[in-house]
Structure 1
Amino acid sequence: MKKLCILFRCSPHGTVRGREGLDLALLSASFEQEVSLVFVDEGVLHLIKDQQPELIGAKDYISTFKALPLYDIESVFVCKQSLADYGLSHGLLSVPVTVVNDEAIAAHLKQVDEVLVF
């Protein structure tokens, strides 16, 4: 089984990167690949609960992150420093995550077969 990691680095709105990353994660998991997600930098903003992207004319794909368990995507990591940079706490996030430091992220990325950055 191939191990795939989707790394979210960009903000959720204004580009299609986040939606494409999420679509790829769900599609890959449906083909029985082992998928993990890592959120760093502006990518942590994907996880804030109660977003209303339709107010700025964007589609609400953020709520789809709640479907991750249905696809057996259980490894969801968030950079501790990125959360601190944006003043976010674990309680403000919409899905269960594991908050990790930079070293843990680097170690995880070395364990997967492929990393795709969105």
Structure 2
Amino acid sequence: MKKLGFVFSSAPHGSASGREGLDAVLATSNYSEDLVLFFVGDGVMQLLSEQQPTEILCRDYISTFKMLSLCDVEDIYVCETSLSERGLSHASFVINVDIVSPDVISQRLAQCAKVLQF
């Protein structure tokens, strides 16, 4: 089966995109094991640990990313350049990720049959 890619490119808590994307990944994981997640641009902030969304009256869905390991979603890539541009090169994440260059992300995206962006 071909891989299905999910690209997270929006910041958390400013819109529902991140939460909706995570919901889509979790739902799709019931039907496929060939899921690949990419965090680029402001999307790299989705996985930062120690967020406090309740302070801005938002729902804390970030901890739900920990469910990905239970769903066998293991191919999770974070753009190294996006982290650097945001001063997050040494950030800690709520899950294990592979920090890769934009070139690697492009190569992995090309291997996906379909790509959904959130």
* TM-score, normalised by the number of residues in structure 1: 0.95
Taking the aligned partners of 2:90 and 2:116, their CA distance within structure 1 comes to 25
> What are the ranges of 5 or more consecutive residues in structure 1 without an aligned counterpart?
none
Taking the aligned partners of 1:91 and 1:79, their CA distance within structure 2 comes to 13
More off after superposition, 68-77 vs 30-39: 30-39
2:99 equivalent in structure 1? 99
Which of the pair is proportionally richer in helix? 1
Matched, 1:31 2:31: yes
> Please, what is the CA RMSD of the aligned residues?
1.1
1:64-83 CA distance string (max 9 Å, x none): 01111100000000000001
Query: Is the contact made by 1:4 and 1:33 (CA closer than 8 Å) also made in structure 2?
Result: no
Alpha-carbon shift at residue 36 of structure 1 (Å): 1.0
Query: CA 1:111 to 1:90, structure 2 compared with 1: closer, same or farther past 3 Å?
Result: farther
Alpha-carbon shift at residue 32 of structure 1 (Å): 2.3
Alpha-carbon shift at residue 91 of structure 1 (Å): 4.7
Query: Is the contact made by 2:2 and 2:34 (CA closer than 8 Å) also made in structure 1?
Result: yes
> What are the ranges of 5 or more consecutive residues in structure 2 without an aligned counterpart?
none
Query: Is the contact made by 1:47 and 1:94 (CA closer than 8 Å) also made in structure 2?
Result: yes
Query: CA 1:32 to 1:115, structure 2 compared with 1: closer, same or farther past 3 Å?
Result: same
Alpha-carbon shift at residue 23 of structure 1 (Å): 0.6
Matched, 1:87 2:87: yes
2:109 equivalent in structure 1? 109
Alignment: residue pair count:
118
Query: Is the contact made by 1:8 and 1:38 (CA closer than 8 Å) also made in structure 2?
Result: yes
* TM-score, normalised by the number of residues in structure 2: 0.95
Query: Is the contact made by 2:33 and 2:73 (CA closer than 8 Å) also made in structure 1?
Result: no
Secondary structure in 2 matching 1:15: coil
Give every structure 1 segment of 4 or more consecutive aligned residues whose post-TM-superposition deviation is greater than 2 Å. Answer: none
Identity of aligned residues (%): 44
Secondary structure in 2 matching 1:71: coil
Correspondence 1:1-118 to 2 at 5 A? 1-118=1-118
Secondary structure in 1 matching 2:70: helix
